[in-house]
Chain A
Amino acid sequence: MDSVTPFIVLSAILFTIGAVGVLTRRNAIVVFMCVELMLNASNLALVAFAKQHGNLDGQIAAFFVMVVAAAEVVVGLAIIMTIFRTRRSASVDDASLLKY
């Protein structure tokens, strides 16, 4: 039972790194990578909890999350690519036409 605690702690640390990265990094690609880090931290937590509860729900969920994350990469990179080609910059600070 105790054996999963370190994994949960690790996943919380990874999730926090990802969330802080999203808020502080300026490059859209890096922001996006931080979001992926958050999703993978959740995967680690799901798998660890599956081990703790002794059922498969969490492990199956992790597979679904991987598929969803892959779909998100396709959509996300397409959007970031278009905006980079238009502006020659992937900085989230430069995208500031819409405000107030």
Chain B
Amino acid sequence: MDFSKPTIEYAQLWPMLVVFGVACLGVVVEAFVPRERRYLTQAALAVVGLAVALGGSVWVGTDLKELKGAGDAVARGKLAAEGTLAVDGPSVFIWALVLVFAIGGVLLFAERRLEAGVSAFAGQAAALPGTEAEREASTRGLDHTEVYPLLMFAVGGMMLFPTANDLLTMFVALEVLSLPLYLLCGLARRRRLLSQEAALKYFLLGAFSSGFFLYGVALIYGFAGSMQFADINEAVRNDTSNSALLLIGMGMLAVGLLFKVGAVPFQAWTPDVYQGAPTAVTAFMAACTKIAAFGALLRLFYVAFGADRWDWQPMLWIIAILTMLVGSVLAVVQTDMKRMLAYSSVAHTGFLLTGLLGVQAASALGKDEITSLQAVLFYLATYGPATVGTFAIVTLVRDAGGEAPAFSKWAGLGKRSPLAAGAFAFLLLSMAGIPLTGGFVGKWAVFAVALSAGAWPVVIAAIAASVISVFFYVRVILLMFFAEPDRDAGVESAAVTTPSLLTSATIAVCVAATLFLGVIPGPVLDLAGNAGSFIR
């Protein structure tokens, strides 16, 4: 058997390699740089690495060659690394989104003013809660600076995930993005039992779901005889003999991916993990994981199983409807801000799935209509800033015991800190889809594509879910601006702590981006449109 040297397209892949390189460099920094200088070194290294990768993504994105032939849609890009990676318009768009919100995540990770000079991460994760060792770690002002390399590895996995063009690469990317997140969830400085429990739950359920994903990989490989999406697509078109293998395999792959995006019935981990994890991690994870996982979900179902959509669309119809309704109904009964935002993110998964059910082929569209790929990409661009911004504001609202996410403590916050409460209200309105915010245009885009594909039952459910979600978002706004803190019950109300520039800049950018996407959505919609479709 001959082995030939593989070619790696470094010109297209270098932004991703920069991220992985910086992550490895971060590990070395951890080993060799003295403790007092690590914080600055690691944070600066992470921000610079992500910024370079972001610039690189823009550069690679403008440089993509248009592919002629195959199909009707315009597609730009190149298969890289012997066809295992597809660097095309949508994947570069997702790279840029993930990198932007990861920079926001690093800034939130690096915030030290809120905890009076230390970060929100455990001083020493190995020290048991309530012991002498923990007190010593906290009096010495220790910090876990390993969180920055962990974040970088997760970001690298998130860039690899939507780019993967075969099942094995997709599985490896899934694990590379998940494993650091499991650890990050367990590293909170305060409420450590909750944080550790969140990590345990996320890990066990995540490992369980990736077991399903892997068995799906094996079955699809058995069906198609190849892991590459183009070959699988070919086999789906031509081979009708083994449809049981195909259907079971497709279902199992869907379990793994739908778990990552938090769709019903795989949403159970979402509220627990979002609540227990350090809020900076929640902000990063909620935005970036969803963006990356939707990229992968779209590529898997459009490229590999595009020819078999009459089999998977009914399944996704039901899942989308259930996800929206369960997410918004359960959000109504929450009394904890982080948990409510978690259920609202489940509902947003449902809206994104609605977009996924739209028209895929550009030829089937009218002049001003967009494909569902573009609608989903735009929705992700509006969902990200709203999510990062809201969780960043949750880190500011504190009482003597640290963050105070309980609703009772938020009463009357608007009178005490109108600026923070106003920003929070604005971002919630965007999530609810009120005009002049990014969320409105995003919702309009996904509903429109689903309608043009005839998925009207899903759109009706989506509108119902939107109405329910307006109720619980507005309730929080009323609570902040029109409720008085209940002094008789002895509830100490929370106050907004002034953060350093890191958090306030993140929040300001998120609010500005949400406003911009709502008032002038054209440029970003065009950008999503120019991304074209997936290459095969």
Contacts and interface: CB of A to CB of B under 8 A. Distances in A.
B171 interface: yes
Nearest to A87: B193
Nearest to A45: B218
Nearest to B334: A100
A96 to B, nearest CB: 8
Contact of A68 (B175, B182, B275): B175
B225 A53 contact: yes
Interface of A: 8, 11, 15, 18-19, 22, 28, 31-32, 35, 38-39, 41-42, 45-46, 48-50, 52-53, 55, 57-58, 60-61, 64-65, 68, 71-72, 75-76, 78-80, 82-83, 85-87, 92, 95-100
Contacts of A32: 204, 207
Contacts of A64: 168, 171-172
B186 to A, nearest CB: 6
Interface residues of B, number: 42
B211 interface: yes
B227 interface: yes
A41 B215 contact: yes
B358 interface: no
A86 B196 contact: yes
Interface stretch (B124-132, B259-267, B361-369, B452-460): B124-132
A95 B200 CA distance: 8
Nearest to B209: A35
Interface of B: 125-126, 128-129, 168, 171-172, 175, 179, 182-183, 186, 192-194, 196-201, 203-204, 207-208, 211-212, 214-215, 217-219, 221-222, 225-227, 271-272, 275-276, 339
Contacts of B128: 85-86
Q: Secondary structure at chain A's binding surface: helix, strand, loop or mixed?
A: helix
Given A45-B215, A49-B218, A31 B179 contact: no
24 contacts: A15-B211, A19-B208, A22-B208, A35-B204, A39-B214, A42-B217, A45-B222, A52-B222, A53-B222, A53-B226, A55-B225, A57-B227, A64-B168, A68-B172, A75-B203, A76-B207, A79-B183, A79-B199, A83-B199, A86-B192, A87-B193, A95-B197, A95-B200, A97-B194
